[in-house]
Structure 1
Amino acid sequence: MLVNMDGKVFVGQRIDNAVEAWQMPQGGIDDGEDMKAAALRELNEETGIVREHVEIIAKAREEHFYDLPPELIGKLWGGKYRGQRQYWFLARFLGSDEDIDIQTAHPEFREWKWTEPESLPDLIVPFKRKLYRDILQEFRDLI
C-alpha cells in the first residue's frame, strides 16, 4: 500500500479489464528474492516510482489471502491457481506526482489516482474487498 503525504492511497485502473477495476500495486516474488525487495521492484515495474521516493513504514503482521469467485477459476492465471496469498507493506511516497509513470515496459494500469483510504474497498473488484478492508484496518493508524 502506497500512501502520499496527505494520507491518500495510490490505486491504478487495470489495463486488462473491461470493467472499471482498480487495485493497489502488487506482484510476485522471484525465486530467492526478499519480500521487501520484491515489493519495491513491483512498485517500480507498475508505477515507475524509484526506490529513493519510497519509505517502507510497516509490513503486515501476517499473510493475507483471497479466493477467486467460481466463475473466474480456470480463466485467470492459466487455471493454475484458485486465489492468491499476499504479503503487504505500507510505504510512504516521498516524491511528486510527476515521478509516477504508469507507461512502463509492461503497463498494467490505464490510469491512476490518489484516493481516500475509506473509499478504497468500493473501488476494488468484489472478491478482493475483504482483503483490502483487512489491510486498511491493520495499517490505519500508520497512514
Structure 2
Amino acid sequence: MRSYEALPYRPCAGITVLNRAGLVFVGRRAGGPEHVDRTHVWQMPQGGIDDGEDAYQAALRELYEETNIQSVEKLGEIPDWLTYDLPPEIAGEAWGGKYRGQKQKWFALRFVGEDREINITTPANGHHPPEFIDWRWVKMSELPDLVVPFKRAAYERIVAEFQHLV
C-alpha cells in the first residue's frame, strides 16, 4: 500500500444550493468512515467526477442523484480547487484507501423549484443507498460548524466566496 502522503486527491464536485430566501441546503449523512463524531453530520451535496466528465456536469449529476433537485440556475463557482485531507486513521477505509482526501470544484446554484422536488429517500439514477437521511435549509454562516472538522477550512472558504450570493 502507498504511504498516506503519496496518495492522490479524489476529484470531486461540490454544490452550494441556495433557496430564494438565501438559505443553503444541507443533508445529514447516512454514515460512512468520514463521520468521526455525532455532532458534525451535515454537509452540502458533493461527489466524484468521473473520468472525462466536466466538473459542472458532475455537480448537476451528483445533485440530482443525491437530492432529485433539477430546478437550479448557476450563480457562480470558485475558480480554483479546494482540498481537504482525511485523518490518516480513516483514509484506509474511505474510497477503498485509494485517496488521501478530495480536491473539490465548488459551484453555487439557486434552487428555483419547490421544496417538494427534494427527495433524499429515493435517489435518482439508481443511486443507492441514499447519501442523506435528513435535510434542511440553514444560514450560510452556520456551514463551517456543521461539517466534520477536517472539512471546516474548505467550508470556510466556500462561505467567504459565496456569501455575497445570499
Q: TM-score range by the shorter chain?
A: over 0.9
Q: 1:42 aligns with which of 41, 62, 66?
A: 62
Matches for 1:9-48 after TM superposition, within 5 Å = 9-17=24-32, 19-20=38-39, 21-48=41-68
When the two structures are superposed, what TM-score results if normalisation uses the length of structure 2? Answer: 0.81
Q: Deviation per CA, 1:5-60, whole angstroms, max 9, x where unpaired? A: 1111100001124735111000111222211111101000000112xx10011011
Alignment-derived partner of residue 6 in structure 1 = 21
- Where 1:71 maps in the other structure, the secondary structure is helix
- Where 1:135 maps in the other structure, the secondary structure is helix
State the identity %: 54
Structure 1 residue runs without a partner (length 5+): none
Instruction: Find out whether 1:126 has 2:149 as its counterpart.
Output: yes
User: How large is the Cα RMSD of the aligned pairs?
Assistant: 1.2
Q: CA deviation at 1:74?
A: 1.1
Q: Deviation per CA, 1:74-125, whole angstroms, max 9, x where unpaired? A: 1211111111100000000001110100011421000000001111111101
In terms of fraction of residues, the more strand-rich structure is 2
Q: Which amino acid aligns with 1:6?
A: A
Q: 1:70, 1:36 → 2: CA distance?
A: 29
Matches for 1:1-143 after TM superposition, within 5 Å = 1-17=16-32, 19-20=38-39, 21-50=41-70, 53-103=71-121, 104=123, 105=126, 106=128, 107-143=130-166
Q: 1:96, 1:110 → 2: CA distance?
A: 19
Q: 1:35, 1:101 → 2: CA distance?
A: 23
When the two structures are superposed, what TM-score results if normalisation uses the length of structure 1? Answer: 0.93
- Where 1:88 maps in the other structure, the secondary structure is strand
Number of residue pairs aligned between Structure 1 and Structure 2: 141
Q: 1:113, 1:46 → 2: CA distance?
A: 14
- Where 2:47 maps in the other structure, the secondary structure is coil
Q: Which amino acid aligns with 1:85?
A: K
Q: CA deviation at 1:69?
A: 1.3
- Where 2:163 maps in the other structure, the secondary structure is helix
